[in-house]
Chains A and B, each alone.
Chain A
Amino acid sequence: MILRERKEKTIEASDGWIKLDNAAKIYPPVTRGELTGVFRLTAVLNAPVRLSALQQAVDMTYKLFPSFSVELCPGIFWYYLDYNNQKPRILLDEGMQCHAFPIKKKGEVMYRILARQNRISAEFLHIITDGGGAMMFFKMLLNNYGNIVLKTDQTKPLFPDSLIIKPVDDTTDRFRELSRKKFPHPVKLSPAWHIPFTLREKPRFTTMSFSVPANKLSEESKKNDSTVSEFLVSIYLASLQDLRDKRKRGSRFLRVQVPVDLRRRFNKETVRNFSVFVMPELDLRMGHYSFNEIIREVKIAIGLMADDKRLTKIISRNVSKEDNPVIRIIPLFIKGFFLRMAYNRLGISQYSGVLTNMGRIEVTPEGEQILSGMLVVPPPPHSRIKVSCGVASLGNNTIITFGSVTDNNTLERTFVSYLTGRGIPVKLLNFK
């Protein structure tokens, strides 16, 4: 059928190749099996998806993001991205979410558009972009879709901050611009506690989404003198603490990895990866934490770690690894082995969970006509982490999505009970 045919090259401007950015370098060696590194953004519409409009919108949008129309190629020392100027596939949204991309197949891109009923989704491999860059694409796609459906012009976008007129030529690694040589590195952390649940039979990855009124969530956060992100991270840590208290075994450090979008902070526009992780922590060697204590810990930790100098410290550490002359000259296949080992030993071991909050997505009156909700599905978690969480708000609708590779949903239930216990109504949207 027409939708599945590969289109001829249509972008003339892009040619050649680009280096992977610093954050992307880890993904080619570590993505395997269900650890796909793929995340998803979904828009819930007020009406069924109009396929012809979606196809036109994709045709209009992908040309604005040439750095997404690339394929992964192995070099001798590093992977690189080769422009292939292909458009993303439009597929029926069925089967496992965040499915792997055929990264070794020529002529494929590392993002796709999916549709079903009243939902449009876009899935991206972290090699090409992060949540911030993907959201720029997705907003532009929905803008174009909305303009076609509503028969309005480009001057009435669905989102007030999404207008991209000319292709975003983005080949610079912004991490490299910010890194400083001879900058002190963050201290190495001791291993964190991991949820001990058994893994589900393959395919393991399922998601569970909950809808929460954004104003109630915001009110409750304000009552606790915190932002929504800080409030939700605190609930995540409190839930982990409850589970750890029951098990009484393993590390006494609980950490939640929280991505920080660096675009606004450093005032740099990019559609490639440009975020780092901060990790609020509970040290249970000092005893049980009350919820107020957790909120205080999280606020201090996020406040401290989200400081520009501390972020530069993290970026400089990451870039310095890549700049190490010994690492640079190691052939790719050996490097892959060591990167996998480093990812498991230094990355995965340091945190107990992941929470990514895309924040409140502002919509115009035209946007309200088309959209009723937005959700983010984080990449399938590592088999040690087991559960991850993604949050997005649109209008008065906050959707919290848990991605999980275990049948045990105690963490999700504990998380939700913290919300309902504070008078915030929670509605289960789907379980897939």
Chain B
Amino acid sequence: MTVCRFCGIEYEETLPVCPLCNGEEERPVSPADILDISKSENKRQLWELSMVLLISAIIIAFAVDAVFGKGIKWSLYADTSLLFIASILTLTHLSRNKWMIFSSLFVLTVILLFVFSLLTKTHNWFLPLALPLTASLYFLGLAVVFLNSLSRYRGLNLIAVIFFAMALFTLIVEICIDMFNDGLIKLQWSVASAASLSLLALILVFIHYRLKRGRKLDSLFHV
């Protein structure tokens, strides 16, 4: 009998490596690995089922519009939206890189809005409204994720950052709408909502860093 110098069990001398831990050559299978395999199998099955349902829905919408609608009209919107959802699901299924998912989501959203603008035949709203709003939304989302990753204790500070991002977004929304409508910026409602959100965010930051340092979201909200 040989005693494995890695996991400490005895095994037959005839075997080249320890069958329990594979020696140094290969990482042994752990309970966590089996759970991961199960999760990835479930994820794949769910993706396959979703694809079947979405493709069926695309075909049905197209067929119904073609037969009963005297031409392809509304189904173009429905099919574009369904394709967008299918692309997102495929992307999240195939890629594990969150930055890759995030940037691809941005591109897909911009393409979706561009296609909608083409379909509506009034695509003058795409460049002044849809593009800057989508870009700012994704940029703010990215900023929230980045700041969150810097934080050691994620608690009320995370909610505060989200509130700050929302405050900025309301300002951007009003600026874009004003520029689109009149070409002049006259900030009104967004200032009030941004001020309220910022005030709330400041209170949350104060509570997080001065009163309850270290409180985590999961312990705070667990039920």
**Contact call B31/A99, Cβ cutoff below 8 A:** yes
4 closest Cβ contacts across the A-B interface?
A102-B38, A117-B8, A105-B38, A99-B31
Q: Is B150 an interface residue (CB 8 A)?
A: no
Instruction: Say which one of A90-98, A249-257, A311-319 lies at the interface with B.
Output: A90-98
Interface of A is mostly: loop
Q: Is B219 an interface residue (CB 8 A)?
A: yes
Q: Is B98 an interface residue (CB 8 A)?
A: no
Q: How far is the CA of A48 from the CA of B22 in the complex (A)?
A: 17
Q: How far is the CA of A420 from the CA of B87 in the complex (A)?
A: 63
Q: Is A344 an interface residue (CB 8 A)?
A: yes
Q: Is B49 an interface residue (CB 8 A)?
A: no
Contact of A99 among B35, B39, B41 (CB under 8 A): B35
B5–chain A nearest beta-carbon distance, Å:
11
**Contact call B10/A95, Cβ cutoff below 8 A:** no
* CB neighbours of B39 from chain A (8 A): 102
Interface of B is mostly: loop
**Contact call A198/B215, Cβ cutoff below 8 A:** yes
Using a CB–CB cutoff of 8 Å, the interface residues on chain B facing chain A are: 1, 3, 7-12, 18-22, 28-32, 34-35, 37-39, 41-42, 214-216, 218-219, 222-223
Q: How far is the CA of A52 from the CA of B38 in the complex (A)?
A: 28
Q: How far is the CA of A48 from the CA of B18 in the complex (A)?
A: 13
**Contact call B37/A105, Cβ cutoff below 8 A:** yes
Q: Is A152 an interface residue (CB 8 A)?
A: no
* CB neighbours of B42 from chain A (8 A): 104-105
Q: Is A56 an interface residue (CB 8 A)?
A: no
Q: A52-B12, A91-B31, A104-B38 are in contact. List 12 more A-B contacts (CB 8 A).
A: A48-B3, A48-B10, A50-B11, A92-B7, A92-B28, A94-B30, A99-B35, A102-B35, A102-B37, A104-B42, A116-B7, A123-B31
**Contact call A51/B10, Cβ cutoff below 8 A:** yes
* CB neighbours of A344 from chain B (8 A): 223
User: Which interface residue of B22, B32, B42 has the most chain A CB atoms within 10 A?
Assistant: B32
Q: A51-B20, A115-B20 are in contact. Are A108 and B10 (CB under 8 A)?
A: no
Chain A 83-125: CB-based contact to B (< 8 A → 1; otherwise 0):
0000001111111100111101100100010011110000100
Q: A1-B19, A102-B34, A117-B9 are in contact. Are A91 and B29 (CB under 8 A)?
A: yes
Q: A48-B9, A51-B9 are in contact. Are A105 and B30 (CB under 8 A)?
A: no
**Contact call A108/B216, Cβ cutoff below 8 A:** no
**Contact call B34/A89, Cβ cutoff below 8 A:** yes
* CB neighbours of B29 from chain A (8 A): 4, 89, 91-92
* CB neighbours of B31 from chain A (8 A): 91, 95, 99-101, 112, 123
* CB neighbours of B219 from chain A (8 A): 198-199, 383
* CB neighbours of A4 from chain B (8 A): 29
B37–chain A nearest beta-carbon distance, Å:
7
**Contact call A115/B9, Cβ cutoff below 8 A:** yes
| Residue of B with least CB distance to A100 | B35
Contact of A90 among B8, B20, B41, B214 (CB under 8 A): B20
What are 23 A-B interface contacts by the 8 Å CB criterion?
Answer: A49-B9, A49-B10, A50-B10, A52-B11, A52-B12, A91-B20, A91-B29, A92-B21, A92-B29, A92-B30, A93-B7, A94-B30, A95-B32, A99-B31, A102-B35, A102-B38, A104-B42, A105-B34, A105-B37, A115-B9, A198-B215, A198-B216, A199-B219
| Residue of A with least CB distance to B41 | A105
* CB neighbours of B21 from chain A (8 A): 92
* CB neighbours of A118 from chain B (8 A): 8
* CB neighbours of B215 from chain A (8 A): 198
**Contact call A94/B28, Cβ cutoff below 8 A:** yes
Q: How far is the CA of A128 from the CA of B122 in the complex (A)?
A: 63
| Residue of A with least CB distance to B12 | A52
